[in-house]
Structure 1
Amino acid sequence: MRALLSGYYGKGNGGDEALLATLLQMLPPHVTPVVLSGNPEETRSRYGVESHERMAVAPVLQALRSCDAFVWGGGSLIQDVTSTISPVYYGGLMALAQKMGLKTVAWAQGIGPLKRAPTRFLAKYSFGHCTKVSVRDRASAALLSDWQIPFLIAPDPVWALSSRPVPGLWDLPAPRVAVTLRSHPQLTQARLANLTRALIDFQIATQAFILLLPFQKSEDLSIAQAIAPQLPNVSKILCLEDPQLLKGVFQGVEMAIGMRLHSLIMAAAEGCRCFALSYDPKVNRLMEDLDMPGWDLTSLPEDANVISTTWIEHYANGDPLSPAQIQSLVDRALMHRQVLQEAFT
């Protein structure tokens, strides 16, 4: 059996690459993956899979015709807040695959927000005609329940991604704290300046070595480059694109401060204390599920001293998830594999 995998792959986003790596780990052995990617050559090289340009009409149609199944490969693909084009693209592919008679799976989805009626209609139609559906959070599950669409709910599959140690990480000074910030309208220049001032004070108080960890170079690297000169000799920008190495960073980190959802999941899965800076409901859902401390960026304290003091307190006295909690999340995340096995028998 051949399955066409569609997601935000090959675009340099560590979280989406982690979802692809986990999906490839979870596919049944008799299923051959074919991946739609923004960088097919890189995807072929990294994962050893057949890959085609995601926006090239002829190769996409040819790939659909050559496959027996189609998979939405995890994440917030069906939402219309950051893009109105995204749900049309993914929903259109799903509808086409369904019209062509392929088995279709919506795998590990985080649905919404859906602000527009046409997007909601497309989402309801697409999910309603899937062979199998799994979601990663309660809000998505509630939406599908309202639509009377059967589903499985389990934690984000990246909890179950296997990590690899990062060469040279242990040569950097300890203790280490990882920071992942991304470009976003809510991260204004004033808020970034406050966070940077707080990070400087936090570093002085804790003597931690700061790892600035861009998860997507196009969105994150410029922010890391703006912060690094203000932490001379006590920080390093660490650019990693292999998702297993990216998760492996957190094996050597005491605490993570992050905006990116998957930076927080990876850190928590490796036993780090985590502090969230939320720009999106999906981050708030994780904070609620794990009782993770943090702020919405829109309610970030204006006093940098309040921010640094809060971070210092969490660094000194906060608790990471226990090994039992982590194992439970990993075990439940593996339930997404069950959806694939049932769909592709």
Structure 2
Amino acid sequence: MTKRRAILCGYYGMGNGGDEALLASLVDALPPSIEAIALSGNPQQTRKRHNIDAVPRKSTPSVWNALRQADIFIWGGGSLMQDATSALNPLYYGGLMGVAQQLGLTTVAWAQGIGPLNRSLTRWVARECFSGCDLVTVRDRNSAALLQQWDIPFTLAPDPVWNLDSYPPQGLWDVPAPRVAVTLRPHPQLTPSRIDCLARALADFQSATQTCILLIPFQPHQDLKLAETLRDRLPGETHIWHSDDPRELKGVFHSIEFAIGMRLHGLIAAAAEGCRCWGISYDPKVSQLAAELHLPHWELSDLPDDPNTISRAWIDSYANSEPLGDARIRATIDRAGLHRDRLQDLLG
């Protein structure tokens, strides 16, 4: 039987562990009758990591040729339609979706987190694209509310990375327990003074708890320098650890006692692996996750300016908080499987 071809479109091959986890989840969700082709910033790496075909995401001839030979086009998870990072994001992803719809492909918006959309043009582009899709699934209530406002049918389910298999990580055998993971990322509101405050708070926390700090750059070309800065400021045993394998990146949290994170998928991985969490939110998607899971967190804009306040809160949470219960984790993982189920219902 001839396989149908599906173009997978997302922030792939860009070195972001969260987006690679979304791609792995999507590839797992596709029926065996589908041949996947990813649009990637690093096609060679994508082919090797995910065992699928890939073409350069910014090469117009390659993308056009792939679209003309495809049967299906899938926005493959994440916050693609948002203009907080750049107004060009919705135009790039929306433009590709629009071409796919004009070509008559089956089109899917899968596991989307919509917004923020602060401009009238990007809101219009998003509405047009979602309304033309054969299937829409979203991962948060704010996205669902927006689609409901637009009268677009959808399925709401937790982020599919909840449902991704995890592997035991390599390279941790010499890292002593107990371990605390920290996943920070650069942001305009993470100013030098706030970085200094967090470094001093982490140093106090580490001294009080005698823990090994594991700094995990989810997107090394963005996060590594910040991780190195923190490592050089901490008094106790501190390591920087990273894996290009999204299943290992999730699995590392199984051996972590406590996680402090800005990265959305760092917090999802930690919670799914039964780790206690503390969030620092730079984006509504992180705030929504913290609210839904009742995770303690600070908005980055409201981060305390006293390192003692921060360290005391972390120490108390480390000593007294509980992870999500097994029943809650299992229920969330099961509901995250709805993204896969709806996709398979459509594609057969």
Structure 1 residue 233: deviation in Å?
5.1
Aligned to 2:289: 286
User: Could you tell me how far 1:232 is from its partner in structure 2?
Assistant: 5.0
Amino acid at match of 1:41: Q
Is residue 2:85 matched to residue 1:82? yes
The alignment yields a C-alpha RMSD, in angstroms, of 0.8
Q: Which amino acid aligns with 2:95?
A: G
Contact 2:207 2:236 in 1 (8 A): no
Distance 1:167 1:16 in 2: 21
- Matched letter for residue 22 of structure 1: S
Structure 1 residue aligned with 2:262 = 259
1:20 aligns with 2:16: no
Which of 55, 68, 72 lines up with 1:52 in the alignment? 55
- SS of the residue corresponding to residue 8 of structure 1 reads strand
Q: 8 Å contact 1:279–1:297 — kept in the other structure?
A: yes
Matched AA of 1:243: P
Q: State the Cα distance separating 1:283 from its structure 2 match.
A: 0.3
Alignment of 1:295 onto 2:278: no
What amino acid does structure 2 have at the position aligned with 1:190? S
Q: Give the match for residue 149 of structure 2.
A: 146
Are the equivalent residues in 2 in contact too, given 1:104–1:132 (CA < 8 A)? yes
Moved over 2 A (4+): none
Letter in 1 for 2:140: D
**Structure 1 CA distance for aligned equivalents of residues 258 and 344 of structure 2:** 36
Partner secondary structure for residue 12 of structure 2: coil
Equivalent position SS for 2:7: strand
Which stretch of structure 1 is more off in the superposition, 334-343 or 95-104? Answer: 334-343
Unaligned runs of 5+ in 2: none
2:231 to 225, 228, 233: 228
Aligned-pair distance for 1:263? Answer: 0.2
What percentage of residue pairs aligned between the two structures are identical? Answer: 57
Residues 148-177 of structure 1: CA deviation (Å, up to 9, x unaligned):
000000000000010100123243110000
Distance 1:155 1:46 in 2: 24
**1:120-151 per-position Cα deviation (integer Å, ceiling 9, x unaligned):** 11100000000000000000000000000000
Distance 1:93 1:49, change over 3 A: same
Q: Residue 108 in 1 paired to residue 114 in 2?
A: no
Kindly indicate whether the alpha-carbon contact (under 8 Å) linking 1:169 and 1:252 is maintained by their aligned counterparts in 2.
no
Equivalent-residue separation in structure 1 for 2:83 and 2:233 (angstroms): 37
How many angstroms does 1:66 deviate by? 1.2
| Alignment equivalent of 1:162, drawn from 161, 165, 190 | 165
1:308 equivalent in alignment to 2:311 = yes
Calculate the TM-score normalised by the size of structure 2.
Answer: 0.98
Structure 2 counterpart of 1:87, one-letter code: P
Aligned equivalent of 2:222: 219
Q: Show the counterpart of 1:196.
A: 199
What is the total number of aligned residue pairs between the two structures?
345
Q: Offset of 1:339 from its aligned partner?
A: 1.9
2:337 alignment counterpart: 334
CA contact (8 A) 2:203 2:235 kept: no
Counterpart of 1:131? 134
Please give the alpha-carbon distance, in whole angstroms, between the structure 1 residues aligned to 2:311 and 2:272: 24
Residues 35-87 of structure 1, C-alpha deviation per residue, up to 9 Å, x if partnerless? 00000010011111110000000000000011100000000000011111111
Give the Cα separation in 2 of the matches to 1:325 and 1:252.
19
2 CA distance for matches of 1:257 and 1:27?
33
1:178 to 181, 187, 209: 181
- Could you say which residue in structure 1 is the equivalent of 2:102? 99
Write the distance in 2 (CA, Å) between the matches of 1:48 and 1:22: 13
Q: Structure 1 CA distance, aligned partners of 2:214 and 2:229? A: 14
- Alpha-carbon distance in 1 for matches of 2:273, 2:26: 19
Q: Is the 8 A contact 2:206 2:236 kept in 1?
A: no
Aligned AA for 1:257?
Answer: I
**Which residues of structure 1 form unaligned runs of 5+?**
none
CA distance in 1, matches of 2:305, 2:323: 27
Kept in 2, the 8 Å contact 1:103–1:343? The answer is no
TM-score of the two chains, using structure 1 as the length reference: 0.99
